[in-house]
């Protein structure tokens, strides 16, 4: 039962994080960010947001740095929007699945070309 609630809370946090980052953040280090998923622990104390950033590795590093510095602001905004007793601690990680998928697609395409 709590897993279902954690998933619902995670989806709500994902929606609100996207809005906060796009509309409220003024930090020039933060580039074009897409929140792909949010995992929340069963006790709703911690949330991990997975994100993709458009740009090179340098832009990705700057974006992660900007988000880490603004974690307190983001958490307070999130607390006002998502009604929970305690706002979860946030952590940000890069979602590598899209890049991994692109790499697999490229390898399959090469294999198909080699077969022809």
Alpha-carbon gap, residue 30 to 11, rounded angstroms: 22
pLDDT for residue 1 is more than 60:
no
Choose among 87, 105, 30: nearest CA to 61.
30
Mean of all residue pLDDT scores within the chain: 86
* Predicted confidence (pLDDT) at residue 106 exceeds the cutoff of 70: yes
**Is-contact 53 59, C-beta < 8 A?**
yes
Checking if the pLDDT of 107 tops 70, the result is yes
User: HSE-up of 104 (CA within 13 Å, CB side)?
Assistant: 6
- CATH code for the domain in which residue 45 is found: 3.30.300.20
User: Quick one: average pLDDT of 63-86?
Assistant: 89
Q: Is the pLDDT of residue 8 over 60?
A: yes
Structure tokens at 103: 């790499």
Using DSSP's 3-state secondary structure scheme, residue 16 falls into: helix
Radius of gyration of the chain (CA): 17
**By three-state DSSP, how is residue 46 classified?**
strand
Lowest-confidence pick of 2-6, 16-20, 45-49, 63-67: 2-6
Domain containing 40 equals 2-115
Helix/strand/coil percent split, the chain, to 5 = 55, 20, 25
Structurally, the chain folds into a number of domains equal to: 1
pLDDT reported for residue 100: 80
**2: pLDDT confidence band, cut at 50, 70 and 90?**
low
pLDDT digits (tens, 9 = 90+) for 24-71: 888 888 878 889 999 998 888 999 999 988 878 888 888 888 888 889
């Amino acid at each position: 039962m709590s897993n279902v609630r954690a998933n619902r809370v995670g989806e709500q946090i994902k929606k609100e994080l996207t809005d906060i980052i796009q509309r409220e953040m003024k930090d020039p280090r933060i580039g074009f960010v897409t929140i792909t998923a949010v995992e929340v622990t069963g006790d709703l104390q911690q949330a991990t947001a997975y994100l993709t950033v458009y740009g090179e590795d340098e832009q990705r590093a700057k974006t992660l740095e900007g988000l880490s510095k603004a974690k307190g602001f983001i958490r307070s905004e999130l607390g006002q929007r998502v009604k929970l007793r305690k706002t979860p601690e946030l952590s940000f990680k890069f979602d590598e699945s899209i890049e991994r998928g692109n790499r697999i697609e490229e390898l399959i395409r090469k294999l198909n070309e080699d077969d022809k």
